[in-house]
A and B are shown apart, each in its own frame.
Chain A
Amino acid sequence: MKRVLVFHPERCLMCLSCVLACQLKALGVEDPRDPISGRKPPQRLSMVLVEGTPWASRCRHCLQAPCAEACISGSIVRDEESSAVLHHPETCVGCGTCQLVCLFHALSRDEKEDCMVKCNLCLEDQTPSCVIACQTGALALSSGDRHAQEKKRNYAKEMTGDRGNG
């Protein structure tokens, strides 16, 4: 089933709960009060302000993913079933080529494991931790490209001045 992470900037309060939830998931910690003994998590999701508007900086799971095309070890592959671009850290050599070609700065380096990291949409979980942590619904999980289609329809309406197909 398709899995799409949708971000609604108008709902985001920049509380950073999604970022913390993602970091804890990376460390395998369920509760922030659990001991983490100085470990630092890799960065797979970050929030930035772009001209005053919140923006979730994360992997877009591009249909034609430059990172997958550039990966020299074949560690980044597109999974058609989930429509996700998946990274396999066990074969990643950490060359950083993917980071160079990504237009969205969605990959970072895990210095401890000496490999790259990116959002894999938490396919192993029913709902990603970041979506669970988001209390305003700014991050939502969609099972299809409904949101993209809706945007395209709205854009088309705007362009045609609501004249429809004719």
Chain B
Amino acid sequence: MADQEGIRPVGCGYGLLGLCCVSCLRGPCRRSPFDDAGSGKFCGEDSDWIVAHNIMQRVSLESLQTMAAFQNALEQASDPESRKETARLDDMKALLSPFSRGENALPDVLSPEQAFPFLHSMEVPVGSWITTLLDANTERPPEMRSAEAKLVTALRLSAMALAAEALTRELAGSMPEEIDVALPDSPSPLLLLLSDDGGLQDDGRDALMKEIDTACRGEARIYRLPHAALLPSFARRVFAKWGIPVSMTKSIAVVFSSSMIRGLGALALGFSLVSLPGYPVQGSPLVEKYLAQDLKRKFGHAYLTVPPREDLCEAILRSLTS
């Protein structure tokens, strides 16, 4: 049995469920998953809001870090001696302008509507990414206060951050604009195994990857990707080859990362997601339902919640063959 607990030992129960809130200095508040009286927050927010807000805060912070890395790469690439294409560089710079809300052609090139219908249903940012990030962190009642709106924003920011990571690597010369992967001739489920380099040494992820690889080899074509920045290009390649968005292929990305933008970014691009460690979402039935069921019903892909003692390989196989 593929044991997920090798990746993360059980820690704070409230934290694992996403029900620990530190959004003000009167906290931390912990809300009981059993809705006990007296376990509420000082501000009275419910468990759905707390879980979604925690996700949003984490994604915002990680997006900010990604944007900072992108800015550094852009500054270096803007050096007169580097021979980068000026028009593309200007488009990239406009993405980082805090004063631009105007149209920018680059996001549409990176995520064309036909290839990424889910992303476009969430109004993928067409202007500056920095403006989107700042707007997302400005409380705009009442619509931004809902848990679902927060989740949509978190997914949108994650996709944006993944695209920024890809551009950063492109500028550094460590990744081409488009990757060339060999895909089967006709549409079939793909299983992408991704591991970033942020894990602890010998945390069991290599063994787990091998186990998933062996168990699922018969059901899906398996690809091992060294980092999540390749995902947008991979999804574009799927669309170029088969003419359908990746969300219609039952493809799954298994993301081994402690960063949330990588997994949620994969989900926003249209891959079903298995994240290791899993995300702290079980504290909110609404959040869990949105990520695991609503997306599946509307777009065909979803976040796969795998309970800790359930066999991971079986869960992946079930999703590939369902």
Contact = CB atoms under 8 A, between A and B. Distances in A.
B30 A32 contact: no
Nearest to B285: A38
A19 B33 contact: no
A41 interface: yes
B34 A31 contact: no
A133 interface: yes
B42 to A, nearest CB: 13
A34 B32 contact: no
Contact of A17 (B12, B35, B278): B12
B226 interface: no
Interface string B287-318: 00000000000000000000111000000000
A33 B14 contact: no
Interface size bucket, B side? 10 to 19
Given A15-B12, A33-B278, A40 B34 contact: yes
B225 to A, nearest CB: 27
A24 B13 CA distance: 10
A31 to B, nearest CB: 4
Contacts of B30: 15-16
Interface string A30-70: 11111110001101000000000000000000000000000
Interface string A7-28: 0000000011101110110000
Given A16-B39, A20-B13, A133-B13, A33 B308 contact: yes
B69 interface: no
Contacts of B16: 31-33
Contacts of B36: 43
Interface SS of B by simple majority: loop
Given A15-B12, A133-B13, A20 B32 contact: yes
B282 interface: yes
A34 B308 CA distance: 7
Nearest to B33: A32
B308 A19 contact: no
A21 B39 CA distance: 15
B33 A34 contact: no
Contact of B10 (A16, A23, A31, A41): A31
B307 A34 contact: yes
Contacts of A20: 13-14, 32-33
A21 B33 CA distance: 12
B307 A35 contact: yes
B312 to A, nearest CB: 13
B17 A33 contact: yes
Contacts of A133: 13
A20 B34 CA distance: 9
Contact of B307 (A23, A33, A40, A41): A33
A16 B309 CA distance: 24
14 contacts: A15-B14, A16-B39, A20-B14, A20-B32, A23-B32, A31-B308, A32-B13, A32-B282, A33-B17, A33-B282, A33-B307, A34-B309, A41-B34, A43-B36
Interface of B: 10, 12-14, 16-17, 28, 30, 32-36, 39, 278, 282, 307-309
5 nearest CB pairs, A to B: A32-B13, A20-B13, A31-B308, A33-B282, A16-B30
Given A19-B32, A21-B13, 15 more contacts: A15-B12, A15-B28, A16-B32, A17-B13, A20-B32, A24-B13, A32-B14, A32-B16, A32-B17, A33-B278, A33-B308, A34-B308, A35-B307, A40-B34, A135-B12
